[in-house]
Amino acid sequence: MKEYMEFLSVVVLHPDDSYSYANIHPLGNVYLETDMNEYGLFIELNNGVHSDPTEHMDWQDTSSVLLMF
């Protein structure tokens, strides 16, 4: 992933119909993971889907793996 950090960008959007916000993301990624709006509201997505056995039936959540030993 590190090699793509040269594309990391701060895109500040001032929509004419809603709050302004800044999206910190690799270029061209318009969905929100790390963002802050004009009022300072900050959101960060930490994606744990790869440890979710309801998404990946043959995968296991981290705590279950730890209890395997």
Partner 1 sequence: MKYPGIGCLLLIALLLLSSAGCSERTGSRGEPDQIDVISSVDQEKSAPLFIDGFEGGQAYRTSSGTFLVLDLSTSRTQMGRQYGGLAGEDLRTFHDRIVADITGRGVAGDYQLATAQGLYDGYPPSLQELLQGMIQISGLTMDEVLVVNAGMLLLTDAILAERRRVCLTMPRQGAAGLASGMDTLRMAHLSLAGTGISIGM
With tokens 């959540």, the residue in question is 61
Which residues of the chain form contacts with partner 1 (CB under 8 A)? 1, 4, 7-18, 24, 26-31, 47, 50, 59, 65, 68-69
Q: CB of 56: closest distance to partner 1 in angstroms?
A: 9
Shortest Å distance, C-beta 26 to partner 1: 6
Rounded to a whole number of angstroms, the minimum distance from the CB of residue 67 to partner 1 is: 10
Residue closer to partner 1 by CB (options 16, 40) is 16
Nearest residue (CB) to partner 1, 2 versus 39: 2
Q: Is the dihedral of CA 16, 22, 23, 28 positive or negative?
A: positive
Residue with tokens 């056995």: 53
Rg (CA), the chain: 17
Q: Give residue 37's Cα distance to chain centre.
A: 15
